[in-house]
Amino acid sequence: MTDGFDRNRCVNDFIGWLGQPFENVFPLSPDRSDYIAAKYFLAVSRISDDTVRAIIRAMRDCIAAESGHDRMREWKRCCHGVADYLLRPREINGADRIVAAGVVVRLSGYVHHRIAFFAAFRPAAIRIAELIWGPGALQYEKTGGDITINLEKVAADGYMTLWDFAKGSPAEVIRSEEETRALASRILNFICLNDYAKARIKRDDHAYIAERFALNENVLFRWSVGDKNVDLISGRLEIPPDHLFEFLRRGRFDSNRTYKPNRDTRRAWFEKRWAVVAQENAARPYSGMREEDWPTSPEGIAALAQRMREVEPLEMTAEEEADLADWRRKRKEYELSKWEERCGKIEVGFA
């Protein structure tokens, strides 16, 4: 406290005026949180009292100016997080560290997205970010529900696994395994609840899931955001990404909401809606080994380790390296050419 200014009281007064409970919609993994903390928390620890006053004023002014906006609740939650987790005079440790990292990620979305969902609040978000980190320092730390499509994972007939759909394009979004599982869980429950009819699966995979379900009903009845059954299903279930994207948009899918189909709905969807296809008609085969194929005996583990040690490093000629660089350039040009189209789809989805 300097010059009679009590920062905690200022934050408390603002949160009381705000009248909007905070909700952590970006539950990051510890590794992802450490990355955000290392990148941004030093500047947070150096925020001055004058900067706190300016940030609170910017948030109040924006909320007052946009009071009738239909997305005000989401913006208030963002402001609550900024005040409670970034502006208080304390070290950010433990569980608060993970939540505070999520607050930074959330704010970065408002700073960088130009779609209608964010547009009214973007100037205030940019002002807040510049006050804390300086102009242009807060990058778009994508996570959560941004759905992008990795064209490399789409098979020739237009299908990909639901897991790859949730993981998205690495050129546009970087998701940890935990974040991918959380999004895959919510998509899986949503499309089950809404009887999505375009999902398909290889015959052997369908039989394998049925066998696992007979031994453990959680295979179909527990798809929570942290459950490995999500991996088992979404890594085998295949969908046409463009069709599913439109289905989610029309159904107003919310990646921050939990959907809960009942047991009868889950079983009926699995037994009656999934198209079971022959191996040659399915999407590209899995790379590497499936979970059930990993050796568990000491001899099997030793044999696998030896085979891995015998793999020779990849060597490329100058011509091959040039071809790879050219392919990467063309891929980037293609992605940039589709940028406006994708932004348009996202904007329509939030309209």
pTM tops 0.85, yes or no: no
For 25-78, the three-class secondary structure string (H helix, E strand, C coil) is CCCCCHHHHHHHHHHHHHHHHCCCHHHHHHHHHHHHHHHHHCCCCCCHHHHHHH
Specify the 3-state DSSP secondary structure of 161: strand
Pairwise CA distance, residues 275 & 221, whole Å: 20
* pLDDT given at position 142: 54
- Distances from the Cα of 116 to the Cα of 123, 244, 346, 349, 350, angstroms: 13, 22, 9, 10, 7
Partner residues linked to 277 by β-bridges: 202
Pairwise CA distance, residues 83 & 189, whole Å: 33
Pairwise CA distance, residues 203 & 268, whole Å: 17
* pLDDT given at position 27: 65
User: Quick one: CA dihedral 59, 144, 69, 140, positive or negative?
Assistant: positive
Pairwise CA distance, residues 36 & 144, whole Å: 14
* pLDDT given at position 132: 97
- At 192, list the tokens: 């089950």
Q: By 3-state DSSP, what share of the chain in percent is helix, strand and coil, each rounded to 5?
A: 60, 5, 35
> pLDDT tens track of the chain, all 351 residues?
456 789 999 999 999 999 988 887 666 778 778 889 999 999 999 999 999 999 999 999 999 999 888 889 889 999 999 999 999 988 888 888 989 998 998 898 888 766 565 688 999 999 999 999 999 999 877 544 467 778 888 888 889 999 999 998 776 667 778 888 989 999 999 999 999 999 999 999 999 999 999 999 999 999 998 889 999 999 999 999 888 988 887 888 878 788 999 999 999 999 999 999 986 544 444 445 556 667 777 877 887 787 777 766 666 677 777 777 777 787 777 777 777 766 665 555 544
* pLDDT given at position 305: 80
* pLDDT given at position 230: 95
* pLDDT given at position 93: 83
Structural contact between residues 63 and 18, judged by C-beta atoms closer than 8 angstroms = yes
Pairwise CA distance, residues 174 & 252, whole Å: 24
* pLDDT given at position 156: 85
* pLDDT given at position 147: 75
* pLDDT given at position 57: 97
